[in-house]
Amino acid sequence: MNAHDEVQRTLNPTCTGTSVIALQYKTGVVVLTDRVVSYGKMARYKNVSRQYKVNDNVLIAFGGDHADFHWLQNVIERQVLLWKRFDQDIGPKALHGYLTSLLYAKRCKMNPVWNTLVVAGVEEEEKNNKETSTPFIGVITQKGCAYQVKHIATGLGAFLLNQAVEDEWRKKGEDLSREEAEAVLRKSLELTLYHDCVADNEFEIGRVDATEGVVLGKEEKIIGDWSIAETNCQYE
């Protein structure tokens, strides 16, 4: 490795995104991300989406360095076209597997893609039969560690939210309807708003549904409950 290599490696993240929260429901997956690019602790750019629609079955959300995902989005686009040459739509499991290998290989070369990726989608078990499609959430960390889950929170959300989301999940499990799943996500977002320095209150909820395909979310805003500020907050 010569000195020239340093120039080409991502050694520190600069413009970053924070948590991603995703949850399976009966017929698909809902994903929540906020819309701010943080430059260290400064909220530098607003209204930037962290969810990318790959095709009608797959949605990718990311946290971590934005520039690295920009590059990755290009690579994913090329993979999709490669599959299209054989008249296939890439499925979430296949994309998840491909990205795992890619991120692990880059990590081994000490040039990581500084992103935590959440691949959300609906996997077709039988061709052209929507009835048997199953929802899929796959996570890949920046070191290339990958796993499949039914619900996930990444970033600082991993510490704050995983238990809250799990509690809601245990109530109804796979029988959650879309509205109930979205309600769980919104409630979880409130927690990040209260306890994550780099979280923003403007967010979007995207979903992948077996019948509707990928529906990207419109921008929404949440304010939270600040009645705690009315009590005596002096330190004496």
Partner 1 sequence: MDTMRDEKRKAIPAIGFYPQEEISTGTTLIAMEYNGGVVVGTDSRTSAGSFITSRATNKITPITDNMVVCRSGSAADTQAIADIAKYHIDVYTMTENKPVTIYRSSQIFRQFLYNYREQLSASVLVAGWDEELGGQVYAIPIGGFVSRQRSTASGSGSTFVQGFLDSQWRPNLTLEECKAIVKQAVGLATFRDGSSGGVVRLAVINKAGSQFELFRPDKPGFPFVQTPTPHLSFPPHIEQVL
Q: Is residue 18 a contact partner of residue 192, using CB atoms and an 8 Å limit?
A: yes
Indicate the residue among 9 and 195 with the shorter CB distance to partner 1. 195
Q: Which of residues 152-181 bind partner 1 (CB under 8 A)?
A: 156, 159
Place of tokens 């330190």: 235
Which of 122, 9, 150 shows the shortest CA–CA distance to 55? 122
Q: Is 223 exposed, middle or buried (0-12, 13-18, 19+ CB in 10 A)?
A: exposed
Q: 230 to each of 38, 163, 193, 194, how far by Cα in Å?
A: 30, 28, 18, 16
Indicate the residue among 9 and 84 with the shorter CB distance to partner 1. 84
Least Å from the CB of residue 235 to partner 1: 5
Q: Is residue 121 a contact partner of residue 58, using CB atoms and an 8 Å limit?
A: yes
Of 34-42, 84-92, 107-115, 173-181: span binding partner 1 (CB under 8 A) = 34-42
If one asks whether residue 41 binds partner 1 (CB under 8 A), the answer comes out as: yes
Beta-sheet pairing, 36-39 with 20-25: unpaired
Least Å from the CB of residue 218 to partner 1: 6
Indicate the residue among 3 and 197 with the shorter CB distance to partner 1. 197
Q: Which residue is catalytic, options 10, 33, 154, 192?
A: 10
Indicate the residue among 17 and 112 with the shorter CB distance to partner 1. 17
If one asks whether residue 196 binds partner 1 (CB under 8 A), the answer comes out as: yes
Indicate the residue among 146 and 160 with the shorter CB distance to partner 1. 160
Q: Which of residues 88-147 bind partner 1 (CB under 8 A)?
A: none
Residue choice 52, 114, 169, 203 for contact with partner 1 (CB under 8 A): 52
- What are 123's strand-pairing partners? 134
Torsion of CA 171, 176, 180, 184, to 10 degrees: 60
Instruction: Count other Cβ atoms within 10 Å, centred on residue 220.
Output: 14
Q: Is 134 a catalytic residue?
A: no
Number of chain positions touching partner 1 (CB under 8 A): 37
- 179 vs 175: CA distance, rounded Å: 12
Q: Which of residues 58-87 bind partner 1 (CB under 8 A)?
A: 73, 77
Q: Is 109 exposed, middle or buried (0-12, 13-18, 19+ CB in 10 A)?
A: exposed
Least Å from the CB of residue 191 to partner 1: 11
Binding site for partner 1 (CB under 8 A): 38, 40-44, 46-49, 52-53, 73, 77, 156, 159, 194-198, 204, 216-218, 223-231, 233-235
Catalytic residues: 10
